Amino acid sequence: MAGHRFFRKAEIPLEVVILMIAALTMTTAGTLLFPVASGKLPYYENGLYGLLLFIFGLQTVALGKTPFGDMCRSLPLIAIGLAVAASGIITCFIPDLLIWIPRAMLFLCFGPGGLVLLLRFLFSRDKFRAWMQNGGIFRHLAAGCGAVYLFSILAGLLLWKKDMLTLPETASAILAYGIALMYLSAVLAGIYRACPEAEKGECSSGTGLPVDRAMILLTGVFMVLLGVLLVPVTLGMLPFSGSAQLGLLMVILAIQMLASGNTPIGAFPRSYAVVFCGLLFAFLGIVSCIIPGILVAQLTILIGILNIVGGGIKMWGMAVPLLKKGDTPSEPIPPVLVKLNSAQFTLNLLSIMFGTSMLVPGIIPGQAIGVILALNGCVLLYLLRLLSIIDRMSRAA
């Protein structure tokens, strides 16, 4: 019976998914900072900063939820979200390249952003007072939001003045922040189960970018940046954190699994088993971002195998229908679908090449790996454009 429940469909809105990732990031970071404080583990601060910036950018692009409140997902807002996510990616990959900028951006997100959200929460007619009057789970929602906003302000103060608390005290505060985020995500999940209509935002306008397309967009940007940065890295012109690169890639894979059931080896119904695997991927990625070198060998093998197996399965899935058709005449395929199939085939081929380069170091020159990754990102963005064209054709039909 337990096994049956484990494979039951999991209805988890994207807002809750991102909160779960943020909660896992904070609880993991807070827990790891205790051995860091005693000198038992190394610590890569830029890895944590970059990961947090990426999460803020993801919220903005996918949901229109900014550190200062909800907004309609217009093209300028998505561009801002992509810029924030890109700064997080660069911060993870290249130590100290952006100097003080990531810390300043996070201060604005946590400090002033948390204060604005707290004031809106307290003085808005349909939030704190209404929730307390409604009682029940809404009082838990009020408690969760209040705690998260207060801890956000504290995080901003710690970014402004790092020596305000000792490292163990900072670890305790970050851990408590993660627990508050976890509590809020559980409350929101319960509210969305009871009132599915509450998941719909107040803003009905915007770009209409679905969750899976938002993830394709962010993954494409990730791959392009990684590929472009790897070229000067392999030439010895820039330092590079391979551990944070693998970690952020694992977190992206985890978000895809949690949000839509899309795994590296194919799409599956979003069951609790897939959610568990997604959270495990996220945990491994977060640890790899924060603690340099600790999981590099293991994640290199895992990501290499997933890329080869996933690319191979998808290529076989594309080939089987063609083999079954044989010489049987068929209706002409629209040009846009031909381009879509070509893009998917190219993606699968590049995925196999990238996976092979990870499992067999040196088989592909370093600069070529950068080109492969950049091409992968460009093809993903091209695929996103083709999907938009197909959507417009479907609406016009």
pLDDT of res. 205:
47
DSSP helix/strand/coil, 360: coil
Residues 28 and 67 in one domain: yes
Mean pLDDT of the chain: 86
pLDDT of res. 313:
86
Q: Which of 263, 291, 319 is the last residue of a domain?
A: 291
Residues 253 and 307 in one domain: no
Model confidence, pTM: 0.90
Residue 2 lies in a domain: no
If one counts the domains in the chain, the total is: 2
Residues 16 and 163 in one domain: yes
Residue 127 lies in a domain: yes
Residues 107 and 254 in one domain: yes
pLDDT in tens, 50-97: 999 999 999 999 888 899 988 888 888 999 999 999 999 999 999 988
Residues 228 and 252 in one domain: yes
Residue 1 lies in a domain: no
Highest mean pLDDT among 171-175, 205-209, 376-380: 171-175
Residues 232 and 260 in one domain: yes
Q: For residues 90 and 214, what is the distance between their CA atoms, to the nearest angstrom?
A: 19
pLDDT of res. 386:
87
Task: Name the residue among 44, 30, 55 with its Cα closest to residue 92.
Answer: 44
Residues 353 and 257 in one domain: no
Task: Name the residue among 5, 10, 25, 2 with its Cα closest to residue 189.
Answer: 10
Sign of CA dihedral 375, 94, 45, 113: negative
Domain hosting 318: range is 298-396
Residue 213 lies in a domain: yes
Q: Which of 241, 257, 291 is the last residue of a domain?
A: 291
Q: Which of 291, 307, 329 is the last residue of a domain?
A: 291
Span 41-54, average pLDDT: 94
Asked whether 287 and 295 are in contact (CB, 8 A), the reply is yes
pLDDT of res. 7:
67
pLDDT in tens, 105-163: 999 999 999 999 999 999 988 888 888 888 889 999 999 999 999 999 999 999 998 88
**Looking at the predicted structure, is the pLDDT value of residue 238 above 90?**
no
Residues 84 and 225 in one domain: yes
Residues 109 and 214 in one domain: yes
